[in-house]
Amino acid sequence: MSADADVVVAGGGPAGLQFAREVTARSEYDVVVLESNDALSDNDKSTGGTFRQVIDRYGIPDDVVMAENEDVVFEAPGASSTLDIPGYVLDFPAFVEYLGEDAEARGAEIRTSARVQAPIREGGRVVGVEYTSGGERRELRADLVVDATGPRAVLAKQLGMFDPDSAQHGVGKEYEVEGRYDLDSMLFRFDHDDAPGGYAWTFPAGEDAFKAGICWIDDFYETHAPADDGTMDDYVEDWLAADPRWEAESIRAVHAGDAVSNNSINQRATDGLVAVGDAVSSINPLFGEGIRPGMESAEMAATVALAALDRGETFRERLAVYEDRWNDEKGLDWRIQRIVCELLYDFTPGQQRRFVTSAGRLSDAQVDRLQRYELTLRDYLELYPFDASDLSKARALVRHV
């Protein structure tokens, strides 16, 4: 049976839409994006904190940027350090909408209210997707299918492309607030009283507005939460009320979602399909930054996919070039960061304090490497206040992660 489109992308988040932008900008292939939400801008889970690489590399316009800030502040009980890392806070729904409009302007077709259910397989090869729209079951066949459905990983899971048992699961909740915010920084606070087994943050969000949120890794939350603690909303409300540097007047929006990290050395390609973004755990496991790596994975996958489409050979051997490139570039770093993350979110308050103090002593070159997630082992040893018990934990993690 002939294909309905050259490429079908399941999921219209940053990764899927960037894939569509790359293919339509660089070729004549027709691309259809299927998104389960009624509008692309319904994807409002993310805080939208990002860095210059995203703004410059992917041509993100000013009108979807809520705030630019000078630096990043790390805090812990009794310690604070400021790192010279400029950042941007995106209006995430507007950003996703912009990516969609740009992809459409370049020729992509975007179908919303279209929920992808399963891959269509023939002779062991993915040849399209089944999806539902308006209560009807439909099929869309394509030479290449892209799973960009985020942490749900709708297709990659069914195709057994990663091992959910080795995954680490985190949750986050954030309020977008109108009110006073005295800092010109993205602030991250490591303190189990504010966010057991995770961290709390505040980001500027334009004039008289800011974002305040909490996230934690499920396993470490269990270890560090008090027996009588409240809901995640209670934690965000306490965090909002905790500090004289900001004052909330009203809550404009609530964002929430989850993140799955499973060490990133995953299978990213199979016959007829590639997976990008959170669908294949591209997110940085240490701080949960997912927009930049998600878009980078889409760009990398699109380059390989275009070469495969040009040859009419979208089988695994050709598409796995993307998987190899990703694992060469990020695989080992992401594994190390997962280990570092598991130690950091499990730190005692004393270790949190020593970690934040050491972060303030990093050289400019180390800060640059930190921002690019390219810290060396030596950098980590300077940064991390390992106790004897951590070394045996680290040894166990190396085997597990």
Ligand X SMILES: Cc1cc2nc3c(=O)[nH]c(=O)nc-3n(C[C@H](O)[C@H](O)[C@H](O)COP(=O)(O)OP(=O)(O)OC[C@H]3O[C@@H](n4cnc5c(N)ncnc54)[C@H](O)[C@@H]3O)c2cc1C
Measured distance CA(291)–CA(194) in Å, rounded = 25
Closest to ligand X by CB, 77 or 86? 86
Question: Nearest distance from residue 385's CB to ligand X, in Å?
Answer: 26
Which of 106, 111, 121, 152 is close enough to bind ligand X by CB under 6 A? 152
The CA-CA-CA angle for residues 28, 31, 35, to 5°, reads 160
Bridge partners (DSSP) listed for residue 256: 173
> Could you tell me the CA-to-CA distances from 292 to 51, 277, 319 in Å, in that order?
8, 9, 22
Q: Would you state the structure tokens that stand for residue 50, as one six-digit string?
A: 């990002």
Question: Nearest distance from residue 132's CB to ligand X, in Å?
Answer: 9
- Contact between 268 and ligand X per CB under 6 A: no
Question: Nearest distance from residue 51's CB to ligand X, in Å?
Answer: 8
Per the CB < 8 A criterion, the answer to whether 157 and 19 are in contact is no
Measured distance CA(306)–CA(368) in Å, rounded = 32
Phi first, then psi, for residue 147 (nearest 5°) are: -90, 115
Closest to ligand X by CB, 176 or 351? 176
Closest to ligand X by CB, 13 or 204? 13
Q: Would you state the structure tokens that stand for residue 56, as one six-digit string?
A: 């410059």
- The interface with ligand X within residues 24-53 (CB under 6 A) comprises 34-37, 43, 45-50
Question: Nearest distance from residue 283's CB to ligand X, in Å?
Answer: 5
- Contact between 289 and ligand X per CB under 6 A: yes
Size of site (CB under 6 A) for ligand X: 42
Measured distance CA(136)–CA(275) in Å, rounded = 26
Residue whose C-alpha is closest to residue 119's, from 240, 274, 6, 248: 274
Per the CB < 8 A criterion, the answer to whether 185 and 69 are in contact is yes
Question: Nearest distance from residue 33's CB to ligand X, in Å?
Answer: 9
Residue whose C-alpha is closest to residue 279's, from 167, 374, 127: 167
| Residue number with the smallest Cβ distance to ligand X | 290
Closest to ligand X by CB, 112 or 357? 112
Closest to ligand X by CB, 119 or 277? 277
Stretch that binds ligand X, among 78-86, 286-294, 313-321, 355-363 (CB under 6 A): 286-294
- Contact between 204 and ligand X per CB under 6 A: no
- Contact between 294 and ligand X per CB under 6 A: yes
Residue whose C-alpha is closest to residue 50's, from 67, 37, 30, 34: 67
Stretch that binds ligand X, among 240-248, 272-280, 344-352, 357-365 (CB under 6 A): 272-280
Closest to ligand X by CB, 10 or 103? 10
Closest to ligand X by CB, 276 or 340? 276
Site string for ligand X, 67-106 (x = CB under 6 A): ----------------------------------------
Closest to ligand X by CB, 12 or 198? 12
Closest to ligand X by CB, 283 or 351? 283
- Contact between 172 and ligand X per CB under 6 A: yes
- The interface with ligand X within residues 107-136 (CB under 6 A) comprises 115-116
Q: Which residues have C-beta within 8 Å of that of residue 80, sequence separation ≥ 6?
A: 73, 74, 356, 360
Secondary structure (H, E, C), 301-367: HHHHHHHHHHHCCCCHHHHHHHHHHHHHHHHHHHHHHHHHHHHHCCCCHHHHHHHHHHHCCCCHHHH
- Contact between 142 and ligand X per CB under 6 A: no
Which of 9, 79, 148, 269 is close enough to bind ligand X by CB under 6 A? 148
Mind giving me the DSSP string for 241-266? Answer: HS-TTEEEEEEEEEEEEEEEE--S--
Binding site for ligand X (CB under 6 A): 10-16, 34-37, 43, 45-50, 115-116, 148-150, 152, 154, 172, 174, 255-259, 277-279, 283, 288-292, 294
